[in-house]
Amino acid sequence: MLAGSAFVVSAQSNAPSSPAPGQAPAANPPATATPGPQAPVQAKVAMCIGCHGIPGYQATFPEVHKVPMIAGQNAKYIAASLAAYAKGDRKHPTMRGIALPLGDKDIAEISEYYAGLAPVEPVPATVEAPADVKKLLDKGACASCHGANFSKPIDGTYPKIAGQHADYLYVALKSYQIQGKPYHGRSNAVMAGQVKQFTHAELKTLAQYLASLPSELRTVPQSRFR
């Protein structure tokens, strides 16, 4: 779900300075601008920003793929994912190193911060899939857990997957087929049971369709150095 970076930023105040006498005040930032995290959350998400705050940033393990968009993701899912990396149910050396030092409060604050970056307008409830893709979706019963248009999971610990990067989804789906490797793979009985019935080509087709859907997920560009 997540990928990290070894960069840490220091917290600074974002309070604007007062204009000099006779000087016009600075123009307000655009309404679409997203403020950066405030201290102390800023320090906690610094590692996340190093990868997840860079549009199009790519990881190289276990193969080259874009890191997932986590802004707008369910808070409970982010928290569950971090816990799974720390426990080893999700095997990823970088993410395990990032997740292990985090306490429950850290995880809760990081998760709530990213969940709070969801767009205001929800995505459409239904998007018709092509017949060949619908057959695969029905075979995997994907909507039964991930919900309407794959953006309304039935449980907060399940992810929104509509609009997520196709290459990330493909790598994530394949990882549930991997068992017994020390540094690669994901342990989840439900997902393992579902993906084992698909070929890699079919998983790629599913990933490409899901990535094409309207999404509540996004990457919020932020600097690691403030």
Rg for the chain, CA atoms, rounded: 19
d(CA 219, CA 212): 16
95 is in an annotated binding site: yes
145 is in an annotated binding site: yes
d(CA 180, CA 164): 27
223: left (phi over 0), alpha (psi -120 to 50) or beta: beta
48 is in an annotated binding site: yes
146 is in an annotated binding site: yes
Strand, helix or coil at 167?
Answer: helix
165 is in an annotated binding site: no
Bridge partners of 71, per DSSP, are 218
69 is in an annotated binding site: no
47 is in an annotated binding site: no
92 is in an annotated binding site: no
Binding site as annotated, residues for heme c: 48, 51-52, 95, 142, 145-146, 191
Binding-site residue set: 48, 51-52, 95, 142, 145-146, 191
